[in-house]
Amino acid sequence: MTAWDALAAKRTGVPVFAPGHVWLAGAGPGDPGLLTLDALAGLGQADVVVHDALVDRRVLALAGPQARLEFAGKRGGKPSATQVDISQRLVALARAGHRVLRLKGGDPFVFGRGGEEAKTLAAAGVPFRVIPGVTAGLAALASAAIPATLRGVNRAVIFAAGHGTDEDFDWAPLARTGQPIVLYMVMHNLERIADALIKAGLDGATPAAVIASATTPRQRILVSTLANVAAAARGQKFEPPAIVVIGDIVNMRAELVGGDAAAAKEPK
């Protein structure tokens, strides 16, 4: 008996996946242990699993034997030119009577374009539900022993996406809050965004960490400062997917896992 069988046998109120419905679910950051039980129930019942590149193989391995896996998403963090196609594909699969599990990395409604998919489903009259997932920004911090909030240090956390160009966004107001900033999709723009934050008044000595492939066997963590983090990440060949966190909360990692030696070490 697997761990899931034992758990499932105890759970009441497991949602039933009806034919022609779409479940728009978060797959979490990688580790299948971070799936919600509802996402797992979806994997067990779905006829088709439409997944992104970010969805971990170990999560997909939990799909039932009846499920057909279909890749639909972005590769290499490039913006998808086919978002409309993906949304339309969900509608077509549902109309064909399938139980469609749309699995997206992290949380479907956090920087994942899940909102657009939900909008298309709603407009097409396809019944759907949204199942949250553990978003990478929070999972990466937890995995790196960095509390997202710490009494006396911060009372807000900013989640921001680092893709795009200078004209897209004004970083200065974020810097002025003095609250920690958790950046998604930032690896290609880290130098520029760090500079913008420093120009806006954030101290270059503010602690900053990069957490790549959080909760997977490839997880890597780097602790630096705002002024040096981009060069350090480049020098150590950190690659996406990665979360960058800037703020004094990063200091807590050294206290929890024991200083510089631990900063370079994998947590598991």
Given the rule CB under 6 A, which residues bind ligand SAH?
29-30, 54, 77, 104-107, 110-112, 135-136, 140, 184-185, 211-216, 240-243
The least distance separating ligand SAH from the CB of residue 178, rounded to whole angstroms, comes to 23
The least distance separating ligand SAH from the CB of residue 108, rounded to whole angstroms, comes to 6
The least distance separating ligand SAH from the CB of residue 40, rounded to whole angstroms, comes to 18
Q: Compare residues 31 and 63 and give the one whose CB is closer to ligand SAH.
A: 31
Strand, helix or coil at 70?
A: strand
Annotation marks residue 187 as catalytic: no
Annotation marks residue 237 as catalytic: no
Q: Compare residues 98 and 137 and give the one whose CB is closer to ligand SAH.
A: 137
**Beta-carbon-side half-sphere exposure of residue 94 (alpha carbons within 13 Å):** 26
Residue of 31, 52, 56, 107 with catalytic role: 52
Residue of 104, 107, 185, 187 with catalytic role: 185
Residue of 74, 104, 107, 187 with catalytic role: 74
Q: Compare residues 31 and 98 and give the one whose CB is closer to ligand SAH.
A: 31
**Beta-carbon-side half-sphere exposure of residue 26 (alpha carbons within 13 Å):** 24
Q: Where are the beta strands (DSSP E) in the chain?
A: 22-26, 48-51, 68-71, 100-104, 128-131, 158-161, 181-184, 207-212, 220-225, 242-246
Q: Strands 68-71 and 48-51, how do they pair?
A: parallel
| Cβ atoms within 10 Å, residue 168 | 10
The least distance separating ligand SAH from the CB of residue 54, rounded to whole angstroms, comes to 5
Report CA-CA distances (Å) from 185 to 76, 210, 212, 219, 243: 10, 12, 11, 16, 7
Annotation marks residue 119 as catalytic: no
Q: Compare residues 98 and 102 and give the one whose CB is closer to ligand SAH.
A: 102
The least distance separating ligand SAH from the CB of residue 109, rounded to whole angstroms, comes to 8
Give the span between the Cα atoms of 85 and 187, in whole angstroms.
27
Q: Compare residues 187 and 202 and give the one whose CB is closer to ligand SAH.
A: 187
Closest CA to 173 of 153, 151, 158: 158
State the catalytic residues. 52, 74, 185
